[in-house]
Amino acid sequence: MTANKRAAKASEETLHRIFTIPVAPNSTLGRIENEISQNLAGFLGAHIAASDQALTEIEKDFADSQIPEDPAFVSDHMHHLLDKLVAQSVHTSSPNFIGHMTSALPYFILPLSKLMIGLNQNLVKIETSKAFTPMERQVLGMMHRLVYQNDDAFYQQWMHSAAHSLGAFCSGGTIANLTALWVARNNLLKPEGDFRGVAREGLFKALKHYQYQGLAILVSSRGHYSLKKSADVLGLGQDSVIAIPTDENNKIDCQLLAAKCQQLANENIQVLSIVGVAGTTETGNIDPLQEMAAIAKRYNAHFHVDAAWGGATLLSKKYRPMLKGIELADSVTIDAHKQMYVPMGAGLVVFKNPASVAAIEHHAEYILRKGSKDLGSHTLEGSRPGMAMLVYAALHVISRPGYEMLINSSIEKAHYFASLIKQHADFELVTEPELCLLTYRYNPERVQQRLASVEQSQQEEINVLLDKLTKFIQKRQRENGKSFVSRTRIEVTRYQGRKTLVFRVVLANPLTTQKILQDVLAEQVQLAQESETFLPQLLALS
Amino acid sequence: MTANKRAAKASEETLHRIFTIPVAPNSTLGRIENEISQNLAGFLGAHIAASDQALTEIEKDFADSQIPEDPAFVSDHMHHLLDKLVAQSVHTSSPNFIGHMTSALPYFILPLSKLMIGLNQNLVKIETSKAFTPMERQVLGMMHRLVYQNDDAFYQQWMHSAAHSLGAFCSGGTIANLTALWVARNNLLKPEGDFRGVAREGLFKALKHYQYQGLAILVSSRGHYSLKKSADVLGLGQDSVIAIPTDENNKIDCQLLAAKCQQLANENIQVLSIVGVAGTTETGNIDPLQEMAAIAKRYNAHFHVDAAWGGATLLSKKYRPMLKGIELADSVTIDAHKQMYVPMGAGLVVFKNPASVAAIEHHAEYILRKGSKDLGSHTLEGSRPGMAMLVYAALHVISRPGYEMLINSSIEKAHYFASLIKQHADFELVTEPELCLLTYRYNPERVQQRLASVEQSQQEEINVLLDKLTKFIQKRQRENGKSFVSRTRIEVTRYQGRKTLVFRVVLANPLTTQKILQDVLAEQVQLAQESETFLPQLLALS
């Protein structure tokens, strides 16, 4: 045996070991795993660097485009990951990280995730998922019932029916919204006479056949960008998404909505879908769903509700009434990886009518044979992991009343934070919380008074400076690493709809305390003083 | 304090504990986790029931559509999951499960997955992923280089460029193929003069502007069903996917392809994309990519290669030449969760031209601001988990030569299995392995001889019976639970293109041994004898 052959053989053995010999408990990876199991928060706190390194610096560690020719030892690679990747990742589960829709996860999720990944089921078909298929169908059934509240007989009939589906589980809200609009489009432009339907013949022939001048999707100006993306993908074009202005509470103006529908009808443009938002991404407000449903019905439009964020509020008996009318929707998007406290990669859409999905049915010989219960015949995605198991477990372990407590407490925390902001003379609450989101900015009392008394041109000058100050504070706070709020730009009624930069806060993490919220404001006051240009300029103007 | 209030308080404490107190090592879940860590294969072997329970029976355990009102103890729920879900799941990592594109996973993947889930990054934007963004860009760079083999300068220029992207990471091959065709469509129907492009104005106006009669996607009859699904979603219609016949080796017939292109050109139908298949799902064959690229160029069509399954073969210097021409593709789909041995939910598409993705760019105020390096501006999905980390780690720990060994050994195992089938007088090899897939059927020697000598009508009678026998054996073998091969229906040249039922075997699991393959055949011979109707009928005919 030559030296080369021996080396090759040794490597084959190494490879075999990688697939068969478990990670030793006292190895680096084994110790890390144990640490994560015993104290995830501690692990993340200790390993994620508090300082904010510039992205261009981090990129230097990820610059090699060659796939390595030499294998790394698992333990060495683990150190590399800890130093270069984990240390520079974002502590999304930190109770101080209140800028996005992130949260700590329930502890039982971690070992269950490992089980899920070890099982490595593929939900596209029963042959690679078996019991996971009825389990996912049950999760969809539960979420469907949460929205539509049909009776037992309904679910007995449809939940496990091969040719039907109460919804589609997917990787997230964008795919869920896209799936809903895909179903809507294919049902609107269905086969008729010689025309074999848009699914077969495409949009060009479909519009010719139905003699529409075009299709439109109507949503408030606070609608999520995934809707424009979906319109693009579906061949409708982003311009087909028409933004309807909102009232001062970021809720769609139904009079304007109805007027636009009528105008489009006069132009022979069919409204494909009216989309209600239940939890706007930027402000957390809920559209008047009941009124919207009535308008959708009048114009024969598919009524979709994007409740990716707010849908979980249905689990709260106390706050459920805020979403009144959602049960009239033809489809509803809910992200389980948002307020349902499961990890990234779990979205879903439910359909009022279990037969809706027939419009997007696909088959193949080697799987998804007709009549099978394979979930893949009614989903946009093909191969998919068993994420539904985590939702299933969370629904059982947390249960509805547990979710109610979590959701109520988040909303009430937002109200508390709003009251803190209002009490502080140098802060301006921009949007009141309805769900657990709010926006605000640092705005010294004197400047606020000045803004209220001057003309619009002078207002603008001040607001431009305030925008700069907001950006300065937000970036500096993030860089300091103690806490994080996000920023966005929204139209503010009190400033004649001016697009204004604001702090955005999402209070979804059950571990965020009142003390943390107080500290966030205190740090922002402090940071404002550090602004050597904007604050003095502002005060000089006031 | 009333009893009710006390109960509520206790529950709030319980909830707080769920987010803060780790799973105790000696709890049920802790013990299970430990068992998985120490011996995953043993755990799965012990907990997945060997018997094949009817789906309708399993559904009874997943019949309740009510979200529970009472919380379950984690340990109780864990027992429930083991009994009802895990026991009835599919042992996809078993070396005896050779029916689909599944495999055992390297052991280091499990603890790393837990780390990934604990970190819970969201790759849509840097603010929730930080170093994960350059890490994912590096993985895309490495995979891009694997395909296109550009020089260092190229990757230095583009890998981390904000307005560019070498590809898109996504949940799987279907989304990858859809993304590729979306990019192709938007680039073909780009803005021109007054026309603002299909992304803005939609397909109806785009086709009018460009005065095409229609668009077409050309792929061999072995193309994956996700292409038809993509054509449906994109508004082109499933009928725009034109299946070109293959030769006897399941490779597209390039003469027919070129002729079809010319015919379409004469009809003023623009070929949007020619799709080469590098690893057909059913037979594992690779199209003549170089020839296809030339045809695509001639007709100004986007050349996409669906290498979801076969793309990993590029890691093998020995077998890479089989994919010659892939470097000419405008886009290539590769699934990391197939032959790259990471768990479900990891697909990607790479683009030859880093500027291609500008055609699908989306922005939003609260994230994905223009000029940012947020990955979300160039992906179909929005929120996405940090799965790229698992690919990153696997590329480093296994390394290119390690992957080469795994891939070579799978292909050679397929050749070994093919030789076993050929040596056995009562089996018929239907498709030769090119990658690690092959198809065959049980067909007694006497029947084979008869088939070769009779007319087509009599052939058909025999083949119908053989189909029934194949189905019988495949189902019975699955039910017995010792091993699993899949079945599909493919056109077989030697039977005048008749769609014939065959066993389909994928030899991707490094732990599948020659002994297992011998046993699979032996069991099938045995099962054939148990067929009380089909085998005697067949023999009577021969």
CB contact under 8 A, A337 and B489: no
Q: Which of residues 135-154 of A touch B (CB under 8 A)?
A: 135, 137-138, 141-142, 144-146, 152
| Residue B399 forms contact with A (CB below 8 Å) | yes
Measured in angstroms, the CA of B378 and the nearest CA of chain A are apart by 10
Q: Tell me which chain A residue has its CA closest to the CA of residue B153.
A: A65
For residues A222 and A251, give the distance between their C-alpha atoms in angstroms, rounded to a whole number: 8
Q: Which tokens go with A375? A: 């979930």
How far is CA B459 from each of CA B99, B256, B265, B431, B491, rounded to the nearest angstrom?
Answer: 28, 28, 40, 19, 15
With beta carbons under 8 A apart, name residues in chain A contacting B62.
131, 134-135, 137-138, 160
Region B512-521: what's the mean pLDDT? 98
Strand bridging mode B427-431 / B437-442: antiparallel
Confidence of residue A369 (pLDDT cuts 50, 70, 90): low
Q: Tens of pLDDT along A294-307?
A: 999 999 999 999 99
Measured in angstroms, the CA of B313 and the nearest CA of chain A are apart by 14
Region A198-219: what's the mean pLDDT? 97
With beta carbons under 8 A apart, name residues in chain A contacting B239.
196, 200-202
With beta carbons under 8 A apart, name residues in chain B contacting A486.
127, 366-367
- Domains of chain A from N-terminus onward: 3-89 (no CATH), 121-401 (3.40.640.10), 409-541 (3.90.1150.10)
With beta carbons under 8 A apart, name residues in chain A contacting B390.
none
A310, A285 contact by CB (below 8 A): no
Q: Which of residues 475-534 of B touch A (CB under 8 A)?
A: 478, 484, 486-490, 504, 510-511
CB contact under 8 A, B16 and A510: yes
CB within 8 Å of B513: residues ≥ 6 apart: B95
Give me chain B's average pLDDT, please: 94
CB contact under 8 A, B65 and A131: no
pLDDT computed for residue A371 by the predictor: 73
CB-nearest to A89 from B121, B198, B231 is: B121
For residues B279 and B436, give the distance between their C-alpha atoms in angstroms, rounded to a whole number: 9
CB-nearest to A58 from B33, B131, B510 is: B131
DSSP string, A22-66: PPPTTSHHHHHHHHHHH-HHHHHHHHS-SS---HHHHHHTT---S
Confidence of residue B368 (pLDDT cuts 50, 70, 90): low
Interface test with B, best of A35, A233, A513 (most B CBs within 10 A): A233
Q: Which of residues 92-121 of A touch B (CB under 8 A)?
A: 92-93, 99-100, 102, 104-115, 117-121
With beta carbons under 8 A apart, name residues in chain B contacting A74.
108, 397
For residues A123 and A140, give the distance between their C-alpha atoms in angstroms, rounded to a whole number: 13
For residues B30 and B26, give the distance between their C-alpha atoms in angstroms, rounded to a whole number: 6
| Residue B46 forms contact with A (CB below 8 Å) | no
Query: Rounded to two decimals, what is the model's pTM?
Result: 0.96
How far is CA B284 from each of CA A144, A218, A329, A454, B153, rounded to the nearest angstrom?
Answer: 40, 45, 44, 73, 35
Q: Tell me which chain A residue has its CA closest to the CA of residue B31.
A: A111
Q: Tell me which chain A residue has its CA closest to the CA of residue B398.
A: A71
Q: Tens of pLDDT along A373-417?
A: 888 889 999 999 999 999 999 999 999 999 999 999 999 999 999
Interface test with B, best of A53, A67, A219 (most B CBs within 10 A): A67
Q: Which tokens go with B319? A: 């077998």
CB-nearest to A15 from B228, B396, B510 is: B510
DSSP string, A162-198: TT--SEEEESSHHHHHHHHHHHHHHHHT--BTTB--H
Cβ neighbours, 10 Å, residue B356: 23
Q: Among A453-462, B141-150, B404-413, where is mean pLDDT lowest? A: A453-462
Q: Tens of pLDDT along B413-458?
A: 999 999 999 999 999 999 999 999 999 999 999 999 999 999 989 9
Interface test with B, best of A9, A90, A272 (most B CBs within 10 A): A90
Q: Tell me which chain A residue has its CA closest to the CA of residue B58.
A: A131
Region A213-228: what's the mean pLDDT? 96
In the block, tokens 């690493």 appear at A481
Angle at B381 between CA A87 and CA A286, to 5 degrees: 100
Interface test with B, best of A40, A89, A185 (most B CBs within 10 A): A89
With beta carbons under 8 A apart, name residues in chain A contacting B183.
none
With beta carbons under 8 A apart, name residues in chain A contacting B386.
344
pLDDT computed for residue A9 by the predictor: 56
Q: pLDDT at residue A6 above 80?
A: no
pLDDT computed for residue A372 by the predictor: 83
Please count the helices (runs of H) and the strands (runs of E) in chain B: 20, 11
CB contact under 8 A, A406 and B490: no
In the block, tokens 């101080």 appear at A96
**What single DSSP character describes residue A237?**
-
Q: Which tokens go with A323? A: 């979403």
Confidence of residue B473 (pLDDT cuts 50, 70, 90): very high
Q: pLDDT at residue B148 above 50?
A: yes
| Residue B88 forms contact with A (CB below 8 Å) | yes
Helix axes A289-298, A254-266, angle to 10 degrees: 10
Measured in angstroms, the CA of B496 and the nearest CA of chain A are apart by 19
pLDDT computed for residue B307 by the predictor: 98
Q: pLDDT at residue A1 above 50?
A: no
For residues A425 and A443, give the distance between their C-alpha atoms in angstroms, rounded to a whole number: 8
How far is CA A291 from each of CA A274, A297, A325, rounded to the nearest angstrom?
Answer: 11, 10, 8
Q: Tens of pLDDT along A145-186?
A: 999 999 999 999 999 998 899 999 999 999 999 999 999 999
Q: Tell me which chain B residue has its CA closest to the CA of residue A369.
A: B488
